[in-house]
Chains A and B, each alone.
Chain A
Amino acid sequence: MSEAALLSARDLRAERPGDDGPVAVLAGIDLTLNAGDVVELAGPSGAGKTTLLLALARLLPGVTGDLHLAGVAARDIPAARWRTRVALLPQRATLVPGTVATNLRLPWELQVRSQDEAPGDGALRDALTDVGLGGVSLDRDASRLSVGQASRIALLRVLLTQPSVLLLDEPDASLDDASAAQVARKTAAFAAAGGAVLRISHVRADAAACVRYRLEHGLLTQVSA
């Protein structure tokens, strides 16, 4: 493991039930994400891309293998604390009932961040403007947002918590080109500030990606550097 490795996975294995018994979705994955990396992950539908992200975020039961965060083994970090550092943004942006502000401050309502201070209204408005949502009021009910707006707010909610690693499951799948470019700019800035990004891409390739992998038959293959 290199000194700069933020997140490393060794021999990750996971199965899912198939018609003729268990099927290996992850068949011994090795992956290292360094500070500043934007890594793109592609592969056919059902190949296990989402499964890999869930495994890295410790959101999948039954996974075997070793995970380290900044050199510390996963078993030495409580799962909830791990997820504050290795943040997954699921593909379906899901907001809780309430306003935009309620949703953006949700992470600070959780016990794991009870000692941290939630961002103020000014910081939230700036963040909204930064992803092209300057016209969305903090008081707007989340149920009145479009799918594209909701997905950007879900991304902001994760980014505001300042994790070390971002795991993005097709973050631009429901966005137009302009909004997708804003998301790509945001994630590139996150990596430039010392974070690492692993994102699944189906629709568009991320120009900022330093490495591209393809996941097929449970194994990763580097497509380009």
Chain B
Amino acid sequence: MSADGAIVIGWWELTLAMLFVLVTGGLSIAMSLKLEKDLAIATVRTYLQLMALGFVLRWVFANQTWYIVIALMLVMITAAARVVLKRAPDAPPGLFGNAALSMALTGFTVTFAVTALVVRVPTWYEARYVLPIAGMVVGNSMTGIALAVERVFSDMESRRDEMLAMTALGATAWEAARPSVRTALTAGMMPTINSMAAAGVVFIPGMMTGQILAGADPLEATKYQIVVMLMISAATAIGAISAVMLMYRKRFTDEGVYLEKGLRIQGRKPK
């Protein structure tokens, strides 16, 4: 047991947790699901990535400087931007800069707003607070942003006839795309709103659970969790709106024509 009352998980117990995976793997083999290879790789990755993260965070907490903290945030943002675009197969190429800008905008503003104004950390780059909060902001908003980006492009493609009719009547790109933008932002925000509505009733949120297991007072953990949920909703909204607004226009020509699949000629930049 640690000094603050939390039960410490030892290396032996950590190895014992592998039993869960072995049971799942056994079920996969018994039912011919062919998931055992993916499961084994995912398990190894979980151990390696999280252990590496633990060592990195321990080192950063001991040797924190502002530039190391910012550099780690940039690594998170870059990885998240890649995930956002990977989940949007209909998105045009060359949007990495826009995705990274949206993730950076939401990641930096919401993280530092929370650490400075709500948590009130003594040093603005206090790694023990900034990095976990940035991780939650970037990780959770990434899911909403990815949903919104995927939806705006797929919805515009399904509305291509309607958008052609509107553009033929004189609509600007924004006027033609607006219904798809609304649909996309709703889709991006809905999981966060649902999660907020169900928190504390249907499930105990992950961060609160972690704090309670680590020995924190449940009421104190609750306060943190409320801040986290509100911050994630703001981060998702800021990120999804900025990403969709930066990106939807890339599917239109300068003259406001939507480039449906038949009009996208590879290797030629639309005029």
Q: Taking beta carbons and an 8 Å cutoff, which residues of A are in contact with B?
A: 15-17, 22, 57-62, 79-81, 83-84, 87-90, 92-94, 96, 106-107, 110-113, 154, 157-158, 161
Contact = CB atoms under 8 A, between A and B. Distances in A.
Nearest to A57: B168
B169 A83 contact: yes
Interface residues of B, number: 25
A87 B259 CA distance: 19
A60 B170 contact: no
A83 B170 contact: yes
Given A87-B168, A94-B164, A96-B166, A110 B270 contact: no
B172 A62 contact: no
A110 B168 contact: no
A57 B255 CA distance: 11
Interface string B56-100: 000000000000000000000000000000000000000000000
A106 B166 CA distance: 8
A158 B168 CA distance: 9
Given A79-B255, A90-B161, A92-B161, A62 B168 contact: no
B202 interface: no
A90 B169 contact: no
Contacts, number: 78
Contacts of B184: none
* Most chain B beta-carbon neighbours within 10 Å: one of A16, A94, A111, A113: A94
Nearest to A92: B161
Contacts of A83: 167-170
Contacts of A80: 170-172, 256
Given A17-B266, A58-B255, A61-B253, A158 B169 contact: yes
Contact of B172 (A61, A84, A94, A111): A111
Contacts of B167: 59, 83
Contacts of B253: 61
Contact of B256 (A22, A79, A96): A79
A57 to B, nearest CB: 6
Contact of A89 (B162, B168, B170, B262): B168
B161 A62 contact: no
Contact of B168 (A17, A22, A90): A90
A224 B134 CA distance: 72
B163 to A, nearest CB: 9
A57 B259 CA distance: 15
B31 to A, nearest CB: 45
Contacts of B256: 79-80
A60 B169 contact: no
A90 B171 CA distance: 15
Contact of B170 (A22, A93, A112): A112
Nearest to A81: B170
8 contacts: A16-B265, A60-B263, A61-B255, A62-B268, A62-B271, A80-B171, A110-B166, A158-B169
